[in-house]
Structure 1
């Protein structure tokens, strides 16, 4: 299997399209808020919609569309659920701890040298929009 075959595989392609659209939406939303084009958001985590959720939803949906309820679908579904759960809970807790750590570093006047990027996790709305995006992209790609 060559690179073009992998890239054009409907399951892989739906994941790729879902994450690209999710990241582009983040750039557009930020531009509408700040009136500045920040293309670095394409490679950032967090924000609306959840790119992680869009990808794993597109993956699970594509596998289901192509193969039905199989062992592969079960594995992909479990990974999708774990990823979505992580987006909603664990990353938010880590972000909270990072915020506290940065406050301590600031109090010690070390924040300019050692500041840690804060991960906010995702809100339920961001995850739901990511899921809808993943479903829609997988469905549309399956129609091609």
Structure 2
């Protein structure tokens, strides 16, 4: 299916590989095998960054620096990395505060959660800069390996 579109394969493989290696990295850090990490946002490395860097590196290899495909993918990659380490990370930090406020409110008023069905907000949404750099490394290495 993807043999005719090396760039798409490189991008998708980079993202999938980044998601899969979150499990052993999480084990190395926390000594817990958490297979749910494969399907969760956030964490080391950034799979969104890996996807876009894999695509951008593939465009570089396929078309060169001066090609519009490279320019477009590079520009979008910068936006994705900024979003991962900036906007999405801040949204996760906001979720931490909102979950604490909700918990404090529930404790002072009785358990409202059982009545409303509210669930806590996801707190790990974005990435710190090291996790984004991890995604960059995964994307570049994947593109190099698949180009060989």
TM-score interval for Structure 1 and Structure 2 normalised by the shorter chain: 0.7 to 0.9
Of 112-121 and 37-46, deviating more is 112-121
SS in 2 for 1:122: coil
Do residues 81 (structure 1) and 86 (structure 2) align? no
Aligned length: 138
Pick one of 109, 125, 129 that aligns with 2:130. Answer: 125
Pick one of 109, 123, 140 that aligns with 1:135. Answer: 140
Partners of 2:13 and 2:44 lie apart in 1 by: 16
Partners of 2:26 and 2:87 lie apart in 1 by: 25
Pick one of 53, 56, 75 that aligns with 2:52. Answer: 56
Q: What aligned pairs does 1:26-41 form with structure 2 within 5 A after superposition?
A: 26-41=22-37
Unaligned stretches of 5+ residues in structure 1: none
Partners of 1:15 and 1:108 lie apart in 2 by: 44
Question: Structure 1 residue 94: deviation in Å?
Answer: 0.9
Unaligned stretches of 5+ residues in structure 2: 107-111
Question: Structure 1 residue 37: deviation in Å?
Answer: 3.1
SS in 2 for 1:84: helix
Based on CA coordinates, which of the two structures has the bigger radius of gyration? 2
Supply the RMSD in Å over aligned alpha carbons: 1.7
Partners of 1:141 and 1:120 lie apart in 2 by: 29
Pick one of 11, 17, 20 that aligns with 1:15. Answer: 11
Do residues 25 (structure 1) and 30 (structure 2) align? no
The TM-score with structure 2 as length reference comes to: 0.84
